[in-house]
Structure 1
Amino acid sequence: MTGHPTLAALRVPGLRRYLAGQLPSVTCSWAQVVALSWVVVERDPDALGWLVACQFAPSLLLGPWFGAVADRHDRKRLLMLAEAGLGVVAGCYAVASAAGILDLPLIFVLAVTWGVINAVDTPARRSLVPMLVPSSAAAGASALSGTVLLVGMAAGSAVGATLTATVGVTITFAANAFSFFADVVLLATIRVGPSPRVRRAAGQIRDGLRHVGRTPELRAPLFALAVTATLGFTVQVSVPIFVRVSLHGGPGLVGVGLTAVTAGGLVGALAAAARGEPGPQALPRAALVMATGLAVTASAPTTAVALTGLVVVGAAWSAFIAFVLAILQRGDPAMTGRVMSLFAVILLGGSAAGAPLTAAMISLAGPRAALAVSALATLAAIAGRRALLSRPNVGGASTSSSCHERRPGPSDATPRSG
C-alpha cells in the first residue's frame, strides 16, 4: 500500500470501522463526564476531586499489569469486553439516576469500576490500532485515532452540556451506554490478524519495564513525556488561575481559554495526521513550539496574545503526544501492550502529580511564573531525551531492529519522511 501514511490508513476498511465506532463513543463518554460532574457538584463540590481520583487511580495502580494482560490475549476480543463493561457502568449510572438512588457513595463505586475497566481498555486499544493497518501506515492510523479522540472530546463537552440542560443526566448516561454497545457491534465486524500473544509467565511486567529501560528509542520519548506531562502541560490548573488573576477575566473567559487549548489540540492532531511517520526531529520540534507557546502566554500583554499562545500550546502538545505514540508503536509487537500501558501510566500520573505542583508554584510565584517554568521544563524534557538517546544500550544490545527512531548521525542525511 503506497501513498501518504494517513491516506493509506484510511483506505483500510477495518480502521474506518474502528474510527466510526470510536467517534460517537468518545463523544458520549465526554458528555457523561459533563453530566457526572454536574451531579457531583450539585451534591458536594469538594467531592469532584475525589471523583477524578477514583477514575484515574486504577490506571496508575493496575496499568502495567493490564498491559501484560493485553499482550497475553486477543486484543480485539479484550477491547470488545472492555467496551461492553464500560457500557454496563454507564447503564448503571442511568438506572440509578432514573431510580433516584445515584448518591455519592454509589458514584464513587461506579467511578472506581469505570477506572478499572478503562485500565484494560487503554492498552488493548492502543495495541490494536497498529494491527489494523500495514506497518507503513501505522503512524497515520495513530494520528487519525488521536484526531477522533480530540474531536470527540470537544464535541462531547458541548453535547453533554446541551443534553444535561435539556433532557437531563439520565438520558445522557443512557446515550453513553448505547454508544459503547454500538461500538462493540462495529468491532465485531472488523477482520484483524491474530494478536502476537505472549504466554503467561512470572515477571512479565518486569520484562516490559526492562525492555523499555534497555531500549533508548523507547525510554527517551517516555522520559520526555513524563517531564512534559508533569511540569509542561499544566493548563488544567494554570489557565483558569491565569485568566482570573493575570487577565482579570471571569468564568466565560476561562472557558474561552480552555477552548483555545482544545481547538489548538485538534489542529495539532490534524497536522500530525498530515505529516504521518515522524522523523528523528519531529518530537523536539513539537516541544520547542510548545515551549514557545507557553512563553508567549506567560508574557502576554493582552488577552488576544494569551489566547494565541494557548492555541499554539494545545496544537504542539497534541502533536507531541501523537509523535510519542507513533514512536512507541514501532517496537516489538509482543511488548506493545506493556509499553502502551506504561505510556498511559506516565501520562495520567504526570497530569495527576503536576496539578498540585503547579498550584503550589502559582501560590508562591504567580501564574505567569508557573507558565514560564512549564516552558523551561518542556525544553529540559527534550534535552533529557537527547541525553538518553546518546547513552549506550544496557548490555550493549542493539535495538535497531525493534524500533525505528534512530539517533541523528552522519549517515542520517534525510530524516524518515511522513
Structure 2
Amino acid sequence: MATFQIEGGHSLKGEIVPQGAKNEALQILCAVLLTDDQVIIENIPDIRDVNKLIGILGNLGVKIQKLGKGKYSFVSDKLHLEYLESELFKEEGSSLRGSIMIVGPLLAKYGKGYIPRPGGDKIGRRRLDTHFEGFIKLGATFRYNKEERFYGVEAPKGLKGAYMLLEEASVTGTANIVMAAVLAKGETTIYNAACEPYLQQLCKMLVSMGANIQGIGSNLLKIEGVDKLTGCTHRVLPDMIEIGSWIGLAAMTKSELTIKNVSWDNLGLIPTTFRKLGITVEKNGDDLYIPAHKNGYEVKSFIDGSIMNISDAPWPGFTPDLLSIMLVVATQARGSVLIHQKMFESRLFFVDKLIDMGAKIILCDPHRATIIGHDFKSNLKATTMTSPDIRAGISLLIAALSAKGTSTIHNIEQIDRGYEDIDGRLRAIGAKITRI
C-alpha cells in the first residue's frame, strides 16, 4: 500500500493542464468493441481504472497499440469471447465498476455479454437494474449466477429496437443501452436518458462511426439501428471533476492557479457553484483562472437570508463527484453551508477525518452535513488518515495541503484510480508532497 506525506500550509502557483476525463474514457474504450475497424482515441488519462480496462480489452483480444502520450489505436476484429467466462475475467472485471459497459457492445455485436458483479467506490448502493432492464427490453435474456455473483445477457437472434422509460437517469446505464441499441434492428427510444457531456461525447463518437442517434444532449434519445459501424478518431474531453478539484485546491491553499484548456462549455454549474462559496473563478479564453484568496472567501446566502444549501443532481445539475471537494473547501469559508448528497448514501462518511483535523462539521445523516467555516482563523491540523475512495481521497489531500504540519495519507491507490501523476503535477506548482 502506497502513502503520501504532505507538508501543508504552503501556497501554490502556476499552470496546470487537466487530464482526459476518466468517466468519458471508460465509456469510449468500451465502444471500440462495436466495430472491426481501427479506432484511435486521444487524451486517454494514465490512471489505474482506465489502464485496468485497457488490460481487460487486451485480454479479450483487442489489438492495442500506444501511439503517443494518451493516444491509442484499438482493433477489435478477432475477440476471445471465452475469456468472458474465465476465472481471470471474474477477478479483473469485479475490481472495476466501469467494466459493466463492455456488456452492451458485446451483446449487440456477438449476441452475448457477461460480467462479474463489479466493484468500485464504497459510496452506497449503486444498482445495475437500469443496464439489464434496458437489455431485456431490447430482447435479451438475462441470467444471474448467485453463487458466483456473475451476470449474463444473451440474444442469439439479435436485438430489436424498443421504447423504454428509464427508472433512473444512470450515466453508465444509458451508455450501455445506447451502445447495444446502435446495432439493434429498428428504432429504440430512450426517455429519461442521462445527458452528461461524457454521454454526449459517446453519442457523437458513435455517430462518427455511422450510428444514427437523434436528441444528443437531451434526455430523449432516438436511435435507428444500423447494420455495422466503422472506425473513427476521437478525443476525450478534459476531466471536469479534476478541474473542480484544482479550483478547490487553489481556494483552500490561497493559491493563484491557471487551469488550461478546460472546455468551458462542458463545465455546467461547476464555476457557478464554487462562486456560491465566495470563490473567484474567472474565464480567460478557454482557460480558468483562480486568483490567490488572500482575504479568504465568504459563503453567499439565498435571497431570503437562509443558509446556503449545495446539493447534487443529474446533469445539468451539480455533479455528485465534486460535493466532497465543496465540503472541504467550506471548512475554511466565512459562513456556514449545508451540503446535501442526494444521489449516494455513504459519500459523506469521510468527514470524521476532517473533524479530527479540527473542522467544524455536523453530520446530520448519511446524506447531509452542515459546515461552519473557520475563515482561516483556525488552521486544519495535520494528521494521519486513509483514503476510502477516489473523491474522498482527493478531498483529504486538499485538506492536508492546507493544514499546518505534515500529514500522512494511506491507501493512495484510491486516488491513483482517478488522478494521473497527481503528486508530480502538484510538485510542479509548489506542493510539498512525497510518495512513499
Point out the structure with the larger strand share.
2
Structure number with higher relative contact order (C-alpha < 8 Å, ≥ 6 residues apart) = 1
- Which structure shows the bigger proportion of residues in helix conformation? 1
What is the TM-score of this pair, normalised by structure 2?
0.23
TM-score for the superposition, normalised by structure 1: 0.23
Query: Max radius of gyration: which structure?
Result: 2
